[in-house]
Amino acid sequence: MKALLTLASALILSAGIATAHDYTVGDLEIMHPMAFETPKMAKAGAGFLMITNTGDIDDVLLEVRADFPKVEIHTTEETDGVAKMMHVEKLPIPAGESVKLAPGGYHVMFMGLSSQLEEGQKIPATLVFENAGEIEVTFNVETRPEDGESMDHSNH
């Protein structure tokens, strides 16, 4: 019986680890890289994550690489009630702070999609930082929430 409980505990813990979706490299913690599924004809999709710099030296996200014709870091700016996405050359990650890439703010644009992003799909990517170097991550594609919180990137 004790062996069975030990096995059950190990399976439960390993399932949590398998679904955990965070990365730590040096002083940087990358949490829950994900993208929303896209409509069938969408030419672009958006990726989101949180980056925490636990160190005492600022870092900078320089680029994101993935197997798409174009990948850029963007931000959303609102002017006179109209939201517009702008390319960001470098995204500072200040020491001791977190930067969230989320709908309505900073995000990763995957452009030139040849097919839609579908729930359950995995997008391997490389985050390139000024100090931490290259960090390999996987963006999990998830269902778009129905609460209107997400941004439509289908015409981007």
Strands 133-142 and 70-79: unpaired
Is the CA virtual torsion 19, 24, 25, 28 positive or negative?
Answer: positive
Q: Class assignment of domain 23-142?
A: mainly beta
Identity at 101, one-letter amino acid code: L
Residue count (the chain): 156
Query: What pLDDT does residue 147 have?
Result: 62
Contact of 43 with 61, CB cutoff 8 Å: no
Dist. CA 38–CA 139, nearest whole Å: 14
d(CA 147, CA 97): 28
Residue 137 contacts residue 125 (beta carbons within 8 Å): yes
What is the predicted pLDDT for the residue at 78? 86
Q: Where are the domains of the chain?
A: 23-142
pTM of the model: 0.80
**Of residues 18, 1, 29, the one with CA closest to residue 95:** 29
Answer for the pair 108, 73: CB distance below 8 angstroms, yes or no. yes
- In the chain (156 residues long), the average pLDDT of successive 10-residue segments reads 43 43 94 96 96 98 98 93 92 98 96 96 98 97 73 42
Strand partners, 87: 74
